[in-house]
Structure 1
Amino acid sequence: MSSETLAAAKRAGHNAEHHVLDAVDALEPTSGEEHWDAIAETAVWPSAELPFHGLCVVEAGLPVEIKSTMVVQTADQRRGRFKLRNQQHETLVERSGVYLFVVCEPYPERTPIAMKVVPARSAGGLVDANASWRDELDGRGKKAQLTWSNVFDPAEVE
C-alpha cells in the first residue's frame, strides 16, 4: 500500500472515529498512547442505532476499539474488511474491552451506516471461524481481516 493510500485510509478511519464519538456520548477519546480509541466514561447501553452482540452493557472504564470499514472497498464492489491487530486484540481481551465495529459510506466522509458493539473475546471467535492471524510485512505483528458481513447481517447494512 502506498504512503498516499495509507494516509487516505488513516484519515478516513479518523473521520469514522469522530462520527462514532459524536454519536455515542458515553465514550471519551483516549490520548493515542493506549491500545484502543476510547474509554467508556459511563455505562454504554444498546440502542436501535448501536446494537450489542454478546453483552448487555459496556461498563464505565472499559476500553473501546473503534474499527471501521467502507461498505464496499473496491471498484468491483467487494465488501469492506475490518483489520484487527493481534497484540491489540490480546490486550483488549485481557481488559474485558470491546470492539465498536462501524460500516461506513465510501470516501471521503465515512459516515456510519451501521454500528455494533462486540466483546473482544467474541471477536476472537469470529477470527477463528472466518479468518486467521497472519504475519504482516509491516513488522507490526499478526493481523486478521474480517469482512463486515462476518460481524453484521447484510440486512443491517444494505
Structure 2
Amino acid sequence: MIKTILIATDFSLESLEILKKVLKNKSEQNDGTRFNILFVSGYDMGDSIRDLLFTSKSSILGKIRSEEFCDAYSIINNKYPNLINKITCDIFTGSFQRTFNTYMEVMKIDEAYFATSKSKRLAKNQFEITNYLKKNKFVQPQEVVTQAPDFAPEKGRLAEVFL
C-alpha cells in the first residue's frame, strides 16, 4: 500500500529533521507500507500579471529550495529505500482555508506533519502553511518536536543530516 505524507517545510536542512523522525518511526512499525513524501511551503505569487503569466513552480522552487536541501533528502531517500516511493517538493499558492482543503483532497494526503518551531529562513514571498494545516478537514496533523543541537561541527551544512 502507498500512502502520502505532507510535511510543512521552509526548504531548510532543519525541516528535514521532521522527515528523519517520521521515517525512523515508520521503519520501527515495519508494516510494509511505502510513502510518497510531499514537502510543501506557502508562496505568495503577488498580483502582477507579468509574474503570474511568466513564473512557473519550478522557477519558484529554484529560488527558495537550496541545492543542499535536495542533496540531503536524496541521502535520506537512499537510507530508507524500502519506505519511500518518491519525494516531491511543491508550493501552495492559495490564500484561503477552502483552497488548502481542496489542495489536500486533490493530493490525497493521508498524514501531515509540521515542526513545533517557527521557521526563521523564509525567503521573500514565502509563508508557513502550519495554520492552514491545523485547520484542514481531512487529516489530523501531527506536531514534531525538532531541536537543532547546540553544537554542530558543520551547522547549516549537509553534515547535519547525519547527526
> TM-score scaled by structure 2?
0.29
More helix per residue: 1 or 2? Answer: 2
Q: Which has the higher contact order (CA 8 A, sep 6+)?
A: 2
More strand per residue: 1 or 2? Answer: 1
